[in-house]
Structure 1
C-alpha cells in the first residue's frame, strides 16, 4: 500500500543528526519536501545537505535556537516563504543530561525544559497558521516516561509534559482536522551510540537489547517508519495517542 507522501511539506526540528536525520532522509526519499534545523554547526550539517541534494526535492537546512522565540519565528517564516503550508511537523529537537536529582542545578533544569518543552511549544504555536485539515504533528517522546530512569528526572518530566501537551492539542484542534501524536522511543542506535568505545557499546547493546521483545536496539530508520505512517492518510483517524517504537521494551 502506497503512503502517497510525494509533494507534502514537512518541518523536522533537530534533523542533522541521529533520529532526526533518519526521519529527514526517509521523508525526502518518500518525496516529501523537508525543512530542518540545527543548533550547533558541525560536519553533519554539510553532509546532510549533500545527501538531500542527491535525493532531489525542495529541501533546506537552517540554523535555529528553538529556545529563542525570535529564532523560532524566523524558522517558521522561512517555511512559510518556501512552502506556504505544512503537512507534517515533527518536534524532534531535544536535550538530555544525567544528573542526580538532589544535585540538579536550576540552570540545567531550565535548559532541558527550555529545549524539550518550551521550544516544542513555540514551534507548534508559530506553525499553526501553516497547518490545516489533514496536517499531522508528531512529537518524539520516550519510554522513560513509563519506566522512570534515575538521573534523568528533568528529561523525563519534559517527555511526560509532551504527552499531555499533545493530548490537549489533539482535542483542541481535532475539529480542524489537525492530528497530534507522540512516538515514544526505546533505545535507538545513533551516532552517540556508535561513538562509544567498543566494550561499552557491546555492553549497552546486550543490556538494553535483552529488555526488548525483539532482542535488539532500534535504528533511526525504524523510528522514521512510524513517522511516515503518521504523516500519511493511512493514520487519518489516529490522534491524541502515544505510539511505542521500542522493540517491546519492558
Structure 2
C-alpha cells in the first residue's frame, strides 16, 4: 500500500508560505501537478517557483485573491488551461487578526468571513466543472473551531463554518463521487517562529512535546488527496499532536 499522487492534478490556494507552501511542495514531491495561487509578489513566491522547478512536473503559480469572484474565475480558467481537469482542491488561503469582540469592526468581520469562508465557497463552486469522479476537496480548518480562542471570534467562526460546509457538501457531492473533508491543524510553527514563551506553553499542552510543522499537515492532506482515503468523506481530521 503506497501513497502515490502521480498523474493527480491539484489546486492549492494560498500556497506561497507556511502550511500552504508545505502542502504544495508535499503534493508535488508525491508526483502531483500543482497550480497554486498567492495574493502579493514576494521572495516567497520566487523561491517556491524555484523549488517546484527543481522537483519537476507541470506546476503553475498564479496571482489571485480568492475573495474576488473575477479573480477566482481567472484562477480556475488557468487550471483548465494548464491541467485540463482537477483531482484535488485544497483550500488553504485565509486571513487572521486579533481583535476583542467588543471592538471588532464590521469591516474586519466581513474581510475575514469573505476570505476564510467566502473564498472556499467561490473556489469550490467555480471548480466543480473541472472535478473528475473520485476527486478530493480539502478545507484547511483549525483546531480552534471546536475549542474557541479569545480575540479571534471572527476567525474561529469561519473555521467552524468550514466544518458545516464540509458535512453538507459531502452529502450533496458524494453521489458524484466527490469527497469533502477538513484538515484542522493545531499549533504549527512556520517560517515565522513563535516567541519562545508561546512555544514553551504549547509544548507543555501537547503530549508529543512539540509544535507541528507544515510537513505534518501536508502528510495528512496527501493522504486525503490519494486513493488510500477513497472512503473518507465528511470528516474533520485534527493535526494537533493531541493538545
What is the match of residue 114 of structure 1? Answer: 114
Per-residue deviation, 1:133: 1.3
Is residue 244 from structure 1 mapped to residue 238 from structure 2 by the alignment? Answer: yes
Aligned equivalents of 2:2, 2:39: Cα separation in 1: 34
Which of structure 1's runs of 4+ aligned residues deviate more than 6 A?
none
Is residue 212 from structure 1 mapped to residue 206 from structure 2 by the alignment? Answer: yes
What is the match of residue 150 of structure 1? Answer: 150
Aligned equivalents of 2:29, 2:235: Cα separation in 1: 26
Aligned equivalents of 1:32, 1:132: Cα separation in 2: 15
TM-score, normalised with respect to structure 1:
0.96
Is residue 191 from structure 1 mapped to residue 191 from structure 2 by the alignment? Answer: yes
Q: How does 1:39-54 map to 2 (within 5 A)?
A: 39-54=39-54
Over the aligned positions, Cα root-mean-square deviation in angstroms equals 0.8
Aligned equivalents of 1:207, 1:11: Cα separation in 2: 35
Aligned equivalents of 2:136, 2:203: Cα separation in 1: 31
Q: How does 1:9-20 map to 2 (within 5 A)?
A: 9-20=9-20
What is the match of residue 25 of structure 1? Answer: 25
Aligned equivalents of 1:166, 1:132: Cα separation in 2: 18
What is the match of residue 74 of structure 2? Answer: 74
Aligned equivalents of 1:209, 1:36: Cα separation in 2: 32
Consecutive unaligned residues of structure 1, counting only runs of 5 or more, are none
Consecutive unaligned residues of structure 2, counting only runs of 5 or more, are none
**Secondary structure of 1:167 counterpart:** helix
What is the match of residue 177 of structure 2? Answer: 177
Q: How does 1:45-64 map to 2 (within 5 A)?
A: 45-64=45-64
Per-residue deviation, 1:132: 2.1
Aligned equivalents of 1:179, 1:85: Cα separation in 2: 16
**Secondary structure of 1:14 counterpart:** coil
Q: Deviations over 1:42-68 (max 9, x none)?
A: 110100000000110000111001111
**Secondary structure of 2:238 counterpart:** strand
Q: Deviations over 1:138-168 (max 9, x none)?
A: 0001111111100000000000001101110
